[in-house]
Amino acid sequence: MPDPLYGPGELLALDREHVWHPYGPMPGRVDPLAVESASGVRLRLAEPAHGRTELVDGMSSWWSAVHGYNHPVLNEAVRAQLDRMSHVMFGGLTHEPAVRLATRLVEITPEPLRHVFLCDSGSVSVEVAVKMCLQYWRSTGRPAKRRLLTWRGGYHGDTWQPMSVCDPEGGMHELWSGMLPRQIFAGPPPATYEEEYAEELRALIARHADELAAVVVEPVVQGAGGMRFHSPAYLRVLREACDAHDVLLVFDEIATGFGRTGTLFAAEHAGVAPDVMCLGKALTGGYLSMAATLCTPRVADGISRGEVPVLAHGPTFMGNPLASAVACASIDLLLSQDWAGEVKRIEAGLREGLSAALDVPGVRDVRVLGAIGVVQLDHPIDMAAATAAAVREGVWLRPFRDLVYVMPPYVTGDDDLARICRAVCAAAREG
Ligand SMILES: *Cc1c(COP(=O)(O)O)cnc(C)c1O
């Protein structure tokens, strides 16, 4: 390995001076940890922190690194593609990695999703989904249908349209409430099925049908909006109400896709298919930024028969060959193994390990679904103290709001999983 460019302290000083981090001020108030390399489920630090130079990753780098880091199969896929070409424009050109990826995604996602728009990030895939829905109604002669309905507690990304369907209160985008498109919100979906809530959804969709382009939700698990789980039965309620009232249904599976909740896609818990589906995060196994928006022939035909018969969207790096190649390899790797068994094993390990958190003062709720574990406190967490407590246990966690949560790589062994659970308890106690 080459010598590091910067001496101790220097890297962090330059980071503080120049580099913006997610949801942070400039300069940052808490120094990040410098990672020198990563392999398997371990992050190797450039400098020891709280006596640790290696941390077990409990976050999969925000849902994405499902196979862990530095995986030989994924490395080889990138290398092989690199030797052919790392990128060519997608306007007027095409290539095998993108065609393979799109074909593969159509095969593994619910019928009748059949068309794939590849884009750069999750937020952009939600923008594309919204654009598809708005344009569908405009093209089919109903331009008044241009609002969106969602439920509270959601998170769909940080660009403009996605922000408008994030939870409007207590979330990261409250600042912009007066400037965002005004969407229609149902209450947060309850964990278990309640007929009253189902009625609320039906009534809202019926009342606003003339102005509604689409319902946009995260199926089964709401991620960054609060890490809440809900009954899949609500997805069937949405599907039926959308069909009854001519409204499109968009599932944002950017966090839930590729096995995280125990089914390959969370929509499968309910046995329903959306009209438009967003994928991202684990799509490339955490290697490169890429997302996808899938739609049905009905949506695509509607748009393509319109006055402007094209979807006017085309990111510069659309269909990037390196990202497409590693996405194909990651999907093949996932499906070539008993991923569902591994997710079940992790679910059992999290249930057992996190049950100890119920004895920690200040813990309000502990919940587990698939390879996702959540400990919710009755107070906002002290993020620095909680992170430090986890690092002392040898684990990387990134708590937020009143939540300590984990979604470890599927390759996490039982000992490392137990360690992650101990760290969550320590973070809950000390945060
Ligand atoms: C992370 C996330 C997004 C945004 O994806 P980015 O790649 O960060 O833009 C959108 N929706 C959901 C459900 C997410 O978890």
Per-residue pLDDT at 12 = 95
In the prediction, which pLDDT does 4 show?
A: 84
Q: What is the mean pLDDT of residues 405-415?
A: 98
- The best mutation among 254, 265, 276, 407 to test binding of ligand 1, ranked by most ligand atoms within 8 Å of the C-beta, falls on 254
Q: At what angle do helices 72-84 and 321-335 cross, to 10 degrees?
A: 150
> What mean pLDDT is predicted for residues 145-166?
97
Would the pLDDT of 224 be above 80?
A: yes
The full DSSP string for 59-127 is SHHHHT-TT-BS-HHHHHHHHHHHHH-S---SSS---HHHHHHHHHHHHHSPTT--EEEEESSHHHHHH
| Higher pLDDT, residue 3 or 405 | 405
Per-residue pLDDT, 67: 98
Are 401 and 381 spatial neighbours (Cβ–Cβ below 8 Å)? yes
Using the CB atoms, write b or e for 109-124: b if 16+ within 10 Å. bbeebbbbbbbbbbbb
- Does residue 339 have a pLDDT over 80? yes
Average pLDDT over residues 25-36: 93
Residue 264 has pLDDT above 90, yes or no: yes
Pocket residue to mutate for ligand 1, from 21, 60, 123, most atoms within 8 A of Cβ: 123
Q: Is 156 in the pocket of ligand 1 (CB under 6 A)?
A: yes
Does the annotation count 131 as an active-site position?
Answer: no
Average pLDDT over residues 65-77: 98
Residue 257 Cβ contacting ligand 1 at under 6 Å? no
Can you point out the beta strands (E) in 348-399? 363-369, 372-377, 395-396
pLDDT at residue 326, as a whole number: 98
H helices then E strands: how many in the chain?
A: 13, 16
pLDDT at 173 over 80: no
The pLDDT of residue 170 is above 80:
no
What gap in Å lies between CA 178 and CA 192, rounded to an integer? Answer: 33
Q: Among all chains, which residue has been given the structure tokens 């030797």?
A: 83
**23 flagged as catalytic:** yes
Confidence of residue 315 (pLDDT cuts 50, 70, 90): very high
Output the average pLDDT for the chain.
Answer: 97
Indicate whether 156 pLDDT > 80.
Answer: yes
pLDDT of amino acid 127: 98
pLDDT tens digits for 345-369? 999 999 999 999 999 999 999 999 9
CB-CB neighbours of 305 under 10 Å? 10
Answer yes or no: are the C-beta atoms of 91 and 314 closer than 8 Å. yes
Active site residue 252: yes
Which residue out of 63, 127, 156, 216 has the highest number of ligand 1 atoms within 8 Å of its CB and is therefore the one to mutate? 156
Partners of 92 in beta bridges = none
Q: Which residue's alpha carbon is nearest to atom 15 within ligand 1?
A: 255
126 CB near ligand 1 (under 6 Å): yes
Whether the pLDDT of residue 270 is over 90: the answer is yes
The pLDDT score that the predictor gives to residue 223 is: 97
How many alpha carbons lie under 13 Å from residue 202 in its C-beta half-sphere? 13
Residue 3 has pLDDT above 90, yes or no: no
Q: How many CB atoms lie within 10 A of CB 156?
A: 31
Please tell me the predicted confidence (pLDDT) of residue 56.
98
Q: Is the dihedral of CA 323, 290, 55, 49 positive or negative?
A: positive
Backbone angles phi, psi at 40, to 5 degrees: 60, -130
Question: Which of 57, 120, 167, 252 is labelled catalytic?
Answer: 252
Q: Is the C-beta atom of 252 inside 6 A of ligand 1?
A: yes
Ligand 1 within 6 A of 218 CB?
A: yes
Ligand 1 centroid, distance to 157 Cα (angstroms): 5
- pLDDT at residue 327 is higher than 90: yes
Taking the CA of residue 162 as reference, the ligand 1 atom at the shortest distance is 10
pLDDT at 301: 97
Ligand 1 center from residue 117 Cα (angstroms): 16
- pLDDT recorded at residue 2: 74
Instruction: Give residue 174's pLDDT band: very low, low, confident or very high (50, 70, 90).
Output: confident
The pLDDT, as a whole number, for residue 29 is 87
Local confidence band at 242 (pLDDT 50, 70, 90 cut-offs): very high
Which tokens in the block code for residue 260? 């995280």
User: Which residue is catalytic, options 167, 281, 402, 416?
Assistant: 281
Judge whether 136 counts as a catalytic residue.
no
